[in-house]
Chain A
Amino acid sequence: MNLGTLQQAFGDMLLGQPSAIADAIFDNRPCQSARLSVYRNHFLTSLQEALCATYPQCRRLLGDPLFYKLTRRYVTEHPPLESCVVNYGDGFPDFLGASEELEDHPAAEELAVLEWLVERSSLLPPAKPFPFSRLEAVDPEAYEHLVLLPAASLRFWTAGYAVDQLFDALVEAQPIPTLSPETLYLAVIHREQGIALSRLSPVAMDLLALCRDERPLADLPGGLQDTVLTELADLLGRGLIEDFSLGR
């Protein structure tokens, strides 16, 4: 067995696949069966712990037996493809969505999406205060050329359940609400005070999508109507936008 073959066999063993690695190690020592298990257990449990850290409310929702059963399967079917474990688990929401065991938890996938985005947001610096004084110097006639820049830690998305309610209930150990499918728009941002989760209107979603794509306000369908200006003021007030440029 050369080095590459041996490592492939070891990897197969860790993933629970047929492997010839047992033939490559000394088998005349005490605890023979446990020696390989130490490595397999570490592989499974360390990555399950990483998923627990990213998805604590999913764990609470599903309960430990089901959560650990699912994470064990996820780890073996979707092991990390990079060295940094902090980036592990991005596919877990989709995995939950495809799991047959979750019929009783239809919002679990959406909750996992929320938790993943909360963690991504928390890795980035807190949002900076919007430079209102600099904006005051801009001629209102030029507002349509403004390109607003969302906070780097802002994540916004469309959810199919009121998972913000579910998330809050789980965090505060309150009774779990019964959720029906509904469309709502959510945003998460890292502020100096911590992570903030809030709802958005459809107009605000369009505005933020425009900002994310670094397009000027003039590109808004219908232009700068009063409703848009009201939403814009709200987004600025909530600190979701942290800078601007004049993109003529």
Chain B
Amino acid sequence: MNITDWVGVGLRVPHHGYFMAQRPSIGWLEVHSENYFHDANLRGELLALAEVYPISLHGTGLSLGSVDPLSQRHLAALRRLIDEVSPVRLSEHLSWSSVGGTYFNDLLPIPYTEEALEHMVARIDTVQQALGRQLLIENPSSYLQYRQSSMTEWDFLAALPERCGCGLLLDLNNIFVSSLNHGFAVEDYLSAVPFEHVGEIHLAGFEVQHFDDGDLCIDTHSRPVSDPVWQWFRAVTERHGKRLTLIEWDRDLPEPEVLLGEAGKARDIMTSLAAAEVTA
């Protein structure tokens, strides 16, 4: 499917009806793959929407960073969904979710070590071979750093495409949240990212939680995109050109029009930069 509008939104179940009935103008939709593995009715709705919109499959449960064996059941379910939906993008996370056969329903941080890098590279390679497709790997938001990490997250992330041929999904909100939580400069991160491998950008909102000894930024996907993240999006797009860009909103889901309004802001930034380029 040919994409002419580079901006998409994350489709969540409560919005299925709206998108099926109203078919609003939006470039593409991204869904969480696992939501469609077992629910035949949701799957039917997704297949109907796939006739109208390009679909991207975004995974949260493959547990790529885990030392547990890859779940063949999960891979088989994902393969079936890919065959049915023919997604324009397929993505997963730089994280782990299970150990000893127990799943924690979260994207947990991995240490940035050579051991973990070799492990991630091998796992991504295995999955790409099994699915016959390239994976985009998304940078996480995080709240802690391991003592044993021997490299930065951005160096770790940058090493993946050259070692296993994956692409990158750059979540600018995650970078911003982690920069506040860990005290690094967003610019340092972005200047190390090999943008030629970035196939998609995520934008979302976050919340600040206050504690006795300071604040932590939590990647809740429950708010509009913050102003600093919009500024970083403009800077990245100006510097490296446009990428497929997604507005994510998972909690305290607003009316679809609000989500589409956020998508409109991203589109406006792309349009204004393109106009400026033509003028120059």
Contacts and interface: CB of A to CB of B under 8 A. Distances in A.
Contacts of A29: 145, 182-183
A31 B214 contact: yes
Contacts of A25: 144-147
Interface majority SS (helix, strand, loop, mixed), chain A: helix
Among B61, B98, B105, B146, residue most surrounded by chain A Cβ atoms (within 10 Å): B105
B128 interface: no
Nearest to A79: B102
Interface residues of A, number: 44
A85 B35 CA distance: 9
Counting contact residues on chain B (CB < 8 A from A), the size range is: 35 or more
Nearest to A43: B104
Contact of B216 (A4, A7, A38): A38
Interface stretch (B108-116, B168-176, B265-273): B108-116
Contacts of A87: 38
A137 interface: no
Interface string A188-224: 0000000000000000000000000000000000000
A85 B105 contact: yes
A82 B69 CA distance: 12
Contacts of A81: 101-103
A25 B145 CA distance: 6
Contact of B38 (A11, A33, A123): A123
A125 interface: yes
B162 to A, nearest CB: 21
B215 interface: yes
A125 B104 contact: no
A230 interface: no
Interface in B121-174: 143-148
B215 A31 contact: yes
Contact of A24 (B38, B74, B101, B146): B146
25 contacts: A3-B119, A6-B148, A11-B100, A24-B111, A24-B147, A29-B145, A31-B211, A34-B209, A35-B143, A39-B108, A42-B105, A43-B105, A47-B105, A50-B105, A80-B105, A81-B101, A83-B62, A83-B103, A84-B34, A86-B38, A122-B41, A123-B41, A125-B41, A125-B44, A126-B41
Query: What are the nearest 9 A-B pairs in CB distance?
Result: A30-B214, A83-B61, A4-B67, A80-B103, A11-B99, A7-B99, A35-B144, A38-B143, A25-B144
